[in-house]
Structure 1
Amino acid sequence: MATQVTVELVPLADGGSAEAAALLAGIYLEYFDESALPMAVRYARAAAEAGLPAGQRTYGHILATGLGVEEDLARAAELFRAAGEGGDAYAAFNLAQLVDDPAESLRLFEIAAREGIVAAGAVLADRLSALDRDEEALGWYVWAAERGHTGVMNAAACWCRDGIGTTPDLIQAVRWFFVMLTHGDGDGIHEAIRLAKAGALDEEEIREAGRLARAPGSAEALISTVLRSGRT
C-alpha cells in the first residue's frame, strides 16, 4: 500500500506540491528502510522550503535526529519554531524539548498539550512537579491519564491517594489503579487491595471508583474478594 501511495504522490511532489512532498517524506520515514532516507530528506526539505508547517516539522525532525543528514539542532529548532508559529502542535512539542529557557519550554509544552498532544501534557506535568507546582502538575497528570497515557496513571493515582496537589481522594486513586489494570498494568491493583483491606473505602466508594474507571467488574471483584471476605 505504501509503495502504491508513493507512486501516486511522486508526480505531484515533483510538480511542486508541498503537501505531497511532506506526505512522501513521512511515508519514506515510516514505512521504508534506511535506503529511502535520501528521498525522505529530499522531499522533507522541499516541503520545508515551501513554508509548509508539516514539512518544516518533518525536516526539523530529520535534522534533530541526524537521519540521513548531519545533525543540526540549531536549524532544527528554527524549523520547529516556524512550524509551531504556523499552527503545528507537534512542532511546538519538539521545540519545547530543544530550547534552553525553562519558562519557554513550559509554555511550548502547554501550547502543544492544549492542541491535544497527550505526551506534551505528561511531560508538562513532570516539569511542573519538579518545580513543586503540584496542583498544576496533578491537573496535567489527570488530563493525560484521561486521554490514555499509561505512563502517568500511577502518578495520578498515588498523588490522589497521598493528597499531593489536592486533598486526599481515595475514590480517584482507586479509579486510576483500576484503569491501570484495564491497560494491562497490575501494579496498582495491589495498592487498591491494601486500601480496601484497611477499610479506607466502603463498597459504594469502590463501586464509584469502578464506574469512573469504566471497570465495574474490577470493583465487584475487589469487593467480593476483600470486603466480603472480612478483609483478611
Structure 2
Amino acid sequence: MHLDEGRKAAEAGEWVAAGHAFVRAAMEGSAEGAELATQVTVGLVPLADAGSAEAAALLAGIYLEYFDESALPDAVRYARAAAGAGHPAGQRTYGYMLLEGIGVPEDHERAEGLFRSAAEAGDAYACLNLAQLVDDPDESRRLLERATREGIDIAGALLADRLSELDRDEEALTWYLWAAERGHTGAMHAAACWYRDGFGTDPDPVQAVRWFLAMLAHDEGDGVHEAIEMAKSGALDADQVREAGRLAGAPEAAKSLIATVWGEK
C-alpha cells in the first residue's frame, strides 16, 4: 500500500508525500521502499534548498538511514536547518545526531532540549527518545505511553520494563504482549519467559512456546532452543506444541520441534 501511494505521489511530483510513503514502506521491512526513498532525494533537495523545513527533515532522515557515510554532511546540514526552523522531525533527527555524536560533537543537554521541543509538538519518536533520557520515572512512563498511541512497538516494550521494575507485573505483561503482537522480538521473548515462569500470570506453557516460535517469523531463532527445553522437561505435550504453533502462525516450526523432541513426523 505505501509503495503504491509513494509511486502515485512521485508521478505527480509530490516529492514530500512520496518520500514519506517510501520511508514508511522501508520501516515495515521493504527493501524496495528503502531504494525508492533514496531516489526521491532528487526531488526533495530543491524543495529543502528553497526553505521547506519538512523536505529538509525528510532528507536528513533518508540520508542518515539509507545512504553511506559520504552523505553524512548533507544529513547534518538538512537536519540542522529543519531543527532551526522548528520542525519536530528535524528537531528529533538533529537531537539524535547530537546524542550519539553522529557528524557533530556530542551534546546530550542540547539533544534533550530538542527531543522535548519535538515531543511537545506531538512527535511520537521524540517522546520515545526523551523517555530514555529523563530522570523522572513518572515522566518517562507518560512519554512512553504517548509513543505507544502511535503504535511504536519498542515504546511498549520499554514501558513494560518500567512497570516490571515497579513490580506491576500484570500491567507489564500486557505491554510486552502489545509490543510482541506488533513484531518486537524482545517483547516476544519476555512474554514467552513470563508465561513459562508465571510472572504477571499463571504459568501457561502453550503461550510460552507460542511466543518462542513466533520469534522465528522475525528471523530470531533463540526462542526455539528454549521451546525445546520446555518440551523435553515435560511442561507440555505434542498436541500443545501444535496448538502453540497454530497460535504463532508457525505450524512447520511446531512440527520440527515435535520431531526433535518426540521423533514424530
For normalisation by structure 1, the TM-score amounts to 0.85
Q: CA deviation at 1:166?
A: 0.6
Q: Which residue of 2 aligns with 1:24?
A: 59
Q: Deviations over 1:134-181 (max 9, x none)?
A: 112211222222222122322211110111001111110111122234
Question: Which residue is 2:223 aligned to?
Answer: 188
Residue in 2 that maps onto 1:85: 120
Q: How many angstroms apart in 2 are the aligned matches of 1:26 and 1:12? A: 15
Picking from 91, 94, 102, the partner of 1:67 is: 102
Distance 1:219 1:32 in 2: 39
Aligned equivalents of 1:201 and 1:3: distance in 2?
49
- Aligned twin of 1:96: 131
Query: Which residue is 1:54 aligned to?
Result: 89
- Describe how 1:151-166 pairs up with structure 2 within 5 A: 151-166=186-201
Is there any run of 5+ residues in structure 1 with no aligned partner, and where?
A: none
Residue 211 of structure 2 is aligned with which of 176, 188, 200?
A: 176
Match of 2:46 among 5, 11, 14: 11
- In our comparison, the structure showing a higher alpha carbon Rg is 1
| Residue 138 (1) aligns with residue 173 (2) | yes
CA distance in 1, matches of 2:139, 2:184: 24
**CA distance in 2 between partners of 1:3 and 1:187 (Å):** 34
In the comparison of the two structures, how many residue pairs are matched? 229
For 1:10, what is the secondary structure of its paired residue?
A: helix
What's the CA shift for 1:191?
3.6
1:117 aligns with 2:152: yes
Aligned equivalents of 2:226 and 2:53: distance in 1?
52
Change (3 A) 1:137 1:11: same
- 1:41 paired to 2:76: yes
Deviates more, 1:154-163 or 1:179-188: 179-188
Distance 2:53 2:76 in 1: 13
> Which residues of structure 2 form unaligned runs of 5+?
1-35
Q: What secondary structure does 2:86 align onto?
A: coil
**Percent sequence identity over aligned pairs:** 73
Query: What secondary structure is seen at the aligned counterpart in 1 of 2:119?
Result: helix
Report how far residue 206 of structure 1 moved.
2.5
What amino acid maps onto 1:108 in structure 2? L
- Superposition CA RMSD, Å: 2.4
Instruction: Select the structure with the greater relative contact order (CA < 8 A; seq sep ≥ 6).
Output: 1
Task: Report the CA distance between 1:187 and its aligned residue.
Answer: 3.6
**Closer, same or farther: CA 214–2 of 1 in aligned 2, 3 Å:** closer
Distance in 1 separating the partners of 2:252 and 2:42? 50
Contact 2:38 2:67 in 1 (8 A): no
Which residue among 128, 143, 168 is the counterpart of 1:108? Answer: 143
Amino acid at match of 1:178: L
Q: 2:242 corresponds to which residue?
A: 207
| TM-score, normalised relative to structure 2 | 0.76
